[in-house]
Amino acid sequence: MTVYDKMVAAYSQKLGTATPNVEQEVMQHITLAGLHRGGFFQHAAFYGGTCLRLFHNLPRYSEDMDFSLIEKRDDIHIENYFPAIIEEFRLAGHEVSIVKKEKKTFGRVESAFLKENTEVYDIKFHTKRTVKVKIELDTDPPLAFDTELLALQQPYSFMTRCFTLPDLYAGKMHALIYRKWQRRVKGRDWYDFEWYVRWNVPLDFAHLQERTREFNGEEISMETFMSQLREKLATTDIDRVKEDVIGFVNDPHELDVWSNDYFLQLADKIVFK
């Protein structure tokens, strides 16, 4: 049995399921291990929902892997670390291909929240079905964030540089307010917002301001932020919010309490760093 197969079996036993979600999580671990071995985390940090899932036990599945350089540079590119990722998968017992996603292949939803200079690739392998993980690196990132080194033990013990929780929170709130998803709503943003409030995580407002400045060309005050947030929480179709996230959680009854009023009450509980 390969290292990959052992990891899938262990995760399936832990989660009580054997789904593509399990295989994706194993791929995410192996990808992080390869990036670590290649020295990527000297220059970059992990953020987003998958970071929250793997390192802080967020109880929902997350598909994509988002990375940011820790300073603005034009000489660090994620493809430089592909040999290390490919070798890590080989050591785990699988051959993978890494394919660049060209702008023209993005759907309208996907491209609406993607900076021009973000590098995006799919890591794929083929067994009975194709399993893939999308990885993105922002090479010209909004700064004013802090990082920390956090440990994983599979496929071996290693450290990953991650955004701190207050800065992960800031990125999520920026996405919740500004994501342009036409008729769709990314309910996973709402799920994560609830998680941050539940655990009383402080929101790094300085990093949120930096993100709105870089992505949206706006200077935002705390009052403006709270006004925009409350409007979003009050007017969004909560059924569509639930529809997006329900496939990513083990217990759909978690969402029974969700309503516009419930999320407005959560907004009143935000703690700022």
| Dist CA 270 CA 48 (whole Å) | 19
Residue 233 belongs to what domain range? Answer: 165-273
| 71 has pLDDT over 70 | yes
Cα atoms in the Cβ-side hemisphere of radius 13 Å centred on 167: 20
Tell me: do 169 and 249 sit in the same domain.
yes
- Indicate the helix (H) or strand (E) that contains 97: strand 97-100
Is-contact 238 258, C-beta < 8 A?
Answer: yes
Instruction: Give the CATH number, domain containing residue 34.
Output: 3.10.450.620
Query: Which residue intervals of the chain are DSSP H helices?
Result: 3-15, 20-37, 49-56, 82-92, 108-111, 165-178, 187-198, 205-216, 222-235, 238-245, 260-267
Tell me: do 126 and 175 sit in the same domain.
no
Per cent of the chain over pLDDT 90 is: 64
Tell me: do 206 and 124 sit in the same domain.
no
In the chain, the number of structural domains is 2
Tell me: do 91 and 104 sit in the same domain.
yes
What is the pTM for the complete model shown?
A: 0.90
- Cα–Cα distances in Å, from 4 out to 86, 131, 175? 13, 13, 33
Over residues 130-165, the pLDDT tens digits come to 778 889 888 888 999 999 999 999 999 999 999 999
Tell me: do 156 and 237 sit in the same domain.
no
Is-contact 158 146, C-beta < 8 A?
Answer: no
Q: Which of 128, 163, 198 is where one domain is finished?
A: 163
Is-contact 53 61, C-beta < 8 A?
Answer: yes
Helix (H/G/I), strand (E/B), else coil: 121:
strand
Over residues 50-66, the pLDDT tens digits come to 999 999 999 999 989 99
Query: What is the rounded end-to-end Cα distance, in angstroms, of the chain?
Result: 47
The residue that leads in pLDDT, 145 or 22, is 145
| 20 has pLDDT over 60 | no
Tell me: do 17 and 117 sit in the same domain.
yes
Tell me: do 141 and 25 sit in the same domain.
yes
Tell me: do 200 and 245 sit in the same domain.
yes
Tell me: do 224 and 253 sit in the same domain.
yes
Over residues 225-240, the pLDDT tens digits come to 999 999 999 999 999 9
**DSSP line for 63-96:** --EEEEESS--SS--GGGGHHHHHHHHHHHT---
pLDDT at 173 (0 to 100): 97
Q: Which of 130, 146, 163 is where one domain is finished?
A: 163
